[in-house]
Amino acid sequence: MAIRILLCTIAILTLLLYSKPIDANHKRSITADDYARAFDHGARVRAEGMCHNPHPTIVYVNTTDPSKVYMPRGTVLHRCSDRTGCCTDPTKTCEPIEMQTVELYFITITLQVQNGHRNRRVRQSPKVEKFMFTNHTLCGCRERTNSNTSNDNTLDSVDNDFR
Ligand SMILES: *[C@@H]1O[C@H](CO)[C@@H](O)[C@H](O)[C@H]1NC(C)=O
Ligand SMILES: *[C@@H]1O[C@H](CO)[C@@H](O)[C@H](O)[C@H]1NC(C)=O
Ligand SMILES: *[C@@H]1O[C@H](CO)[C@@H](O)[C@H](O)[C@H]1NC(C)=O
Position 131 scores a pLDDT of: 93
Instruction: Assess whether the C-beta atom of 65 lies below 6 angstroms from ligand 1.
Output: yes
- DSSP assignment, residue 89? S
Q: What single-letter amino acid sits at 99?
A: M
Position 111 scores a pLDDT of: 81
Q: CA dihedral defined by 47, 52, 55, 60, rounded to 10 degrees?
A: 160
Q: What is the mean pLDDT of the chain?
A: 80
Ligand 3, atom nearest to 148 Cα: 1
**What separation in Å is there between the alpha carbon of 145 and the centre of ligand 1?**
29
Residues of the chain with pLDDT under 70: 1-27, 113-123, 146-163
Position 162 scores a pLDDT of: 40
Please answer whether residues 100 and 135 qualify as being in contact, where contact means their C-beta atoms are separated by less than 8 angstroms. Answer: yes
Instruction: Assess whether the C-beta atom of 148 lies below 6 angstroms from ligand 3.
Output: yes
Position 152 scores a pLDDT of: 47
